[in-house]
Each structure stands twice: as structure tokens, then as C-alpha cells.
Amino acid sequence: MIDDKTPLEAVAEAAQDYCRLIEQVRANQLAEWLKCVESALLRLDASVRRLASQEPYHAYKLAHDLDARFESYLRLKRYLDHYDELSPEPEITGYNDLGLGNLSENLIDIYFEVRRGLASYEAGMVGDQSAQRLWSNGYRNYWQQHLQEARKRLDLIRLAG
């Protein structure tokens, strides 16, 4: 089946799925939830890369929603518990560059930036506040690093069993 979605529609769909997962985390379903988040991040990464390749570079400003981010971070951290600070065993190579915070922090930073673009998409905003520009430039300038870090941490959790 050929995917006939535009790059913007593909990111919007991936963003909706990712945001729904972050909003619906449950401690009793954590293992399955982590697998779904890993899959959603993969889809989000692929779709936003495609979108960003079509958008010229522009400056990006983070939203000033620190209180909401912190409250969400604490909520997610409570659910993730010991997974949140998991460190690689010394003999496992490829994870020595982990350094952009714990899993909760990365997932919440991605969530708020993706949700910001989703709100713009749903409102049909144009110009500097368009979803395409927010997602493309936010990804390139800020949350791409968080996404890569989260994917590594999720991979590490899977390896740890």
C-alpha cells in the first residue's frame, strides 16, 4: 500500500500518536507502553526528517512552559521509576555518550515541542508559527537530540530485559 499522506500530514499523525501515548501512560502496562513509545519515536523521527528536508532553516524559540513541563516530567518519572535512570553495563558498547538527561526528561521535552506543533497544525496557523516550521526547526535545533537520546535509552531498557 502506498502512503499518500503529505509530509506534514505524516508528522501530524505521528505527533498525535506520540502525544496520546505520553498522556496515557499507566504503571500496570509499562512494558507494552515502552514498546509503543519506541515505535512512535521511530515513526516521528522518520516523518519529521522528511518534512524538515523540505523546509528551509529558520531560527527556533522554545516555548516558556517550564511549570507544565516540570509537572509532566514528575508524573512520567513516577511511572518510569527505575527505568528512568538506567545506566549501561560497562561491557555494553555504544551507550557511553548518554548525557541529555533521563528518559522522562527526554520524552517530556519531545512531547511539549511536538504538541506545540500539533496545536498549530490543528489551528491551521501559517508563517513562523506554522506546524511545518515549528516541527522542522524545533527538530533540527532542539528535540532531535532528545529523540536520539530517548531512543538509545529505550534500546538500553530492551537490552536490560
What would the pLDDT profile of 43-76 be if each residue is shown by its tens digit? Answer: 999 999 999 998 877 777 777 788 999 999 999 9
41 touches 18 (CB < 8 A): yes
**Cell numbers that stand for 51 in this block:** 518534512
> What are the residue ranges spanned by the domains of the chain?
7-160
pLDDT digits (tens, 9 = 90+) for 143-152: 999 999 999 8
* Residue 16, burial from CB neighbour count under 10 angstroms (0-12, 13-18, 19+): middle
Superfamily of domain 7-160 in CATH is Protein of unknown function DUF5063 (1.20.120.1550)
- pTM attached to this predicted model: 0.86
